[in-house]
Amino acid sequence: MAKIANITFAAQDPRRVADFWIAALGYERQEAPPGFIEAWVAAGRDPDAADAAVDPAGAGPRLFFQRLERSPESPMAIHLDLHADNPDEEVGRLEQLGAVVVERKERVTGQWTERWTVMADPEGNRFCVQ
């Protein structure tokens, strides 16, 4: 069974949007692990292109803010990122419930590799499983 790992926001200015939600919800900025920002920049990414906030009590989901263009063609202005112990198994379970796989993605930043599957629910609302 999956659980919400992130609520991801597309933002022109991730830090500004993060600051708003941090203040609105009493969250705290999540600092990147040691070496991550350096690896992010070395991979050719803008260090200001993402930000994150967490519930200090550990009860709420992580909020992730990512610089993405916002347009009518961009279907993921805000979406859920689901975490599963076995992502492939969870994708299969969600497909049986009526979701469809849109695409599978991978991003390597230094020693960190992220893999996720973009899916759409029965009405086309997108979410990710990692």
Assess contact for 50 and 6: CB atoms under 8 A: no
Report how far residue 82's alpha carbon sits from residue 1's, in angstroms, rounded to the nearest whole number.
10
- At 67 the pLDDT is 87
Per-residue pLDDT of 55-71, as tens digits, reads: 999 999 999 888 877 66
Q: What is the pTM of this model?
A: 0.71
Give me the residue label for tokens 């790992």: 5
- Tally helices (H) and strands (E) across the chain: 3, 8
Alpha-carbon distance values, 65 to 18, 29, 40, 51, 68 (Å): 6, 11, 15, 5, 9
Tokens of 87: 């992502």
Per-residue pLDDT of 82-119, as tens digits, reads: 899 999 999 999 999 899 999 999 999 999 999 999 98
CATH no. for residue 120? 3.10.180.10
Total number of domains constituting the chain: 1
> 125 lies in which domain range?
3-129
Report how far residue 81's alpha carbon sits from residue 127's, in angstroms, rounded to the nearest whole number.
6
- At 74 the pLDDT is 62
Per-residue pLDDT of 21-67, as tens digits, reads: 898 889 999 998 888 888 888 988 888 888 999 999 999 999 988 88
